[in-house]
Structure 1
Amino acid sequence: MPVIQKRMAQARPMTMDWDDLKVVLAIVRNGTLSAAARALGTTQSTVSRRLDALERRLSVKLFDREAGGLRLTALGQSLIEGLEQMDAGALSVQRQVAARDTGLSGEILVTSLDWLGDEVIAPMLARFGAMHPGLVIELVNDTKVFNLARREADLAFRFGSFTQENLIERRIGEVAYALYASEGYLERHGQPDVTNGFCGHLLVLLDRAAGAVPHEAWLPVLAHRARTALHANGLRAHLAAVRSGAAIGVLPCFLAEGDASLRRVVVSHPMPVRAVRVGLHSDMRDTPRIRALVDFVAREFAQLEQQLNPQS
């Protein structure tokens, strides 16, 4: 090769695969190779192999391998801000592409929580999907807070407000709670009496690690003489305990009213209501399929609330 061509070849800029750079970001964000692999949906060996290949190709060391895991080198640390900016730019492009006006067709990834997603949101999404065959709707119920800016989900239905930047939230409906007991429990223990603090009655409550929760905050006042039979961290466990006749408990009306074995225990204290909110990234707000789904779910909630008013 002539000298000038050799020098030109040597001067060519080095190309880098964005997928390999995403591996670096995943390791930084998740702390370990195994956690990065889970975030990327691949294996630890694949992440390790791609990192080694990238460092060999660049002839630099981005991480120091230590007994406790990986630690960024000074060079690696200096690159992170630029990689974060590249990632944010790529995600912005992805959101803009995803938000293009495709009518009521395309994919919608939805996330929600436990019983709310399974019992309330899932039937609504199924009805909406049946109406629009061009849509592919996927629901993932998880306690994990999905990053909507990174398109880990398009919509998130949750209790409480959203704190991520550039998100829009909308109050989509309400979940009403009331006190319930089984017929068998009431036959054995009688109706709870507020005037004596529910003396002689048994409760199922959320686990103590949950702290004060809005829908149970009134119980220590009204039922101060009741005994707690069980602390459990899931609403399905509460429902099962109440259904078995072992205790009374505060349950979502959405779950309890459809169970013929349960009876609402009427007390003078107004029962709590929790707001359900939907969050979405601002780039997706005008996407027809997203807007149509949010409006549909809001109408469905309004209908359910009329049917399940706990004060009726």
Structure 2
Amino acid sequence: MADNSSLVGGQSLRRINERVIIVQILVMIFLCINLLLIMTFFKKECFYKTTRYVLFAVTLMSDSFLLFMSNIMLIFSYFELTMPVWLCIIISAVVILYFTVTPVTLTVMTLERYVAICMPLRHGELCSQSSTVNCILIIHGFSSIPFIVVIAIFFASASLSFYTQYRVCSIEIFILYRWQDDIRAGVYQFYFVLMCITLVFCYVKIMKVAKAASGEQRKSTWKGLRTVILHAFQLLLCLIQLWCPFIETAVLQITGSLKLFLFVKYMNYIIFILAPRCLSPLIYGLRDETFVHALKSYDFFGLSKRNI
């Protein structure tokens, strides 16, 4: 293992530096796009009075926060910068929370499309402003369960002296024993199954309405169906991330190559963390005519309105 570390630190140092730089560029691009969309959201009153746009904004802010915090943890890990365990616990707990908020919000957004298409007469009642506020609270409450479970079993297992130690911060700091990892995996797999059932249910119901619809209603319904499909793809990428630690551990145990392990970990970060977060602006930003029109109404920094 020491030889592998030497190899990665010596011959492959330039390549790893390039990878870190690429990640920083991608994170900055996504954060700038998200910031622009968030500013556009707050420019028009109709956006923060409409449920789907409010949920879209929640997703953007959740993704932005997660990208920012996980990128800081990535930099600390790459340069092997240590911090007190108690501080790492706080940072990691927040990351775990917002890692779950995004897929839960996507599931709720799919349900909103189901209500809009399959129960249009009740859409105004079920998706009112007060209902949207309650929905956001429920999303964060439901998303808190995994991180509460992880924190609880960690506190029950860690000694008091462990909190004063200095370590490189990562999510794996919560895993002291194998059974803790099994419990965490079980909780996330339950979420995975529950969200998949919800997506399939909404897809089947909307598909039935789409086949029976005609004219303008048919066009609107099929657009909603495509949105559900994009949500499903985005959600799948988010949830596959739950399996990444198992894949990375298996690669290291089977091959014993730290170089391959770091490459797999890097690709997992790009595909299953960065990629799903760049789909939100596409699904509810650039595909939505109202939002695109509002986006064009302001200059690049969203500070002054253009005459169009």
TM-score by shorter chain over 0.5: no
**Structure-2-length-normalised TM-score:** 0.22
User: Between Structure 1 and Structure 2, whose CA radius of gyration is higher?
Assistant: 1
**Higher strand proportion:** 1
